[in-house]
Structure 1
Amino acid sequence: MRPTRWTHGFPAIVKATAATSPKIEKLGEEISGLTLEEARGLVDWLQDKLGVSAASFAPAIAVPGVAGGAADASAAPVVEEKTEFDVVIEEVPSNVRIATIKVVRALTNLALKEAKDLIEGLPKKFREGISKEEAEDAKKQLEAVGAKISIV
């Protein structure tokens, strides 16, 4: 287990290992005491000195403000994967209305009147902000009874 200490108002994880030399510990302490502007200057200086770019070592999702202007503009933007989905009931044929209402009630725990109101005046969002698995499951159940569904 790594002990925790507080630095600049935020918890910092301190890794206590026998392999860490006093020189590295001292340097680490000095770096952790830098202001954001000083850290940016250090990054720029190291990039010039070593001939490398911090962007090449950055994780896919960078912490905003840490690298400042260090990443060059030609870098591709990070595309975040969508994690929340909405299920939209597009159409319910009249011959499957009752079956669709039953599935809607089972998936949402709505009362009969609310479930009936939900499938009138389509298209309507049926579920919002759910996981991809939940959205796919709801779509599969509703399409099995004959409703037309889309996931956005």
Structure 2
Amino acid sequence: MIKNLEEIKMALDTEKIIADLKEASILELNDLVSAIEEEFGVSAAAPVAAAGAAGGDDAAEQTEFDVELASEGTAKVKTIKAVKDITGLGLKDAKGLVDGLPSVIKEGVSKEEAEDIKAKLDEVGATVNLK
């Protein structure tokens, strides 16, 4: 059993293998990969595909958004009325959200709804972040 890096270097001449690989053509490297896959019953594509899938999950389009009111803009009263209409809250609660900026005014909404809310608040001069 190989226990450390020195034993690995003795078991395989890693530096020679790397030097040989650097000198090989693309066709020779392709043949080598195919031979390794066949000999060991593995696929060189599997780790790449798994890495791609993991990256795809991270890069997948977001489906739920939180709408955060970052700034009331210059028309605070219009912003409060817009927040009241959007959230269905009473005037006092809507004012509380606007006074306590930044405030999340809607959570877990669709992209379309989030963009619609943002447009309504942009219209009254407020600043909105979609998270």
Which TM-score tier does this pair reach, normalised by the shorter chain?
0.5 to 0.7
CA RMSD, aligned part only? 2.6
Alignment partner of 1:72 is 2:10: no
Correspondences of 1:1-152 after superposition (within 5 Å): 71-72=46-47, 75-76=51-52, 77=54, 78-79=56-57, 80-93=60-73, 95-152=74-131
Structure whose residues are more often helix by fraction:
2
The alignment's TM-score, normalised by the length of structure 1, stands at 0.51
Per-residue CA distance 1:37-92 (angstroms, 9 max, x = gap): xxxxxxxxxx96xx896xx7xxxxxxxxxxxxxx4256312323211001111111
Aligned identity (percent) is: 45
Deviation at 1:121, TM superposition (A): 2.3
How far apart, CA to CA, are the structure 1 residues paired with 2:61 and 2:42? 29
How far apart, CA to CA, are the structure 2 residues paired with 1:144 and 1:81? 26
Task: Name which one, 1 or 2, has greater alpha-carbon Rg.
Answer: 2
Higher relative contact order (CA 8 A, sep 6+): 2
Structure 2, unmatched stretches of 5+, are 1-36
Q: How many residues align?
A: 89
The alignment's TM-score, normalised by the length of structure 2, stands at 0.58
Structure 1, unmatched stretches of 5+, are 1-46, 57-70
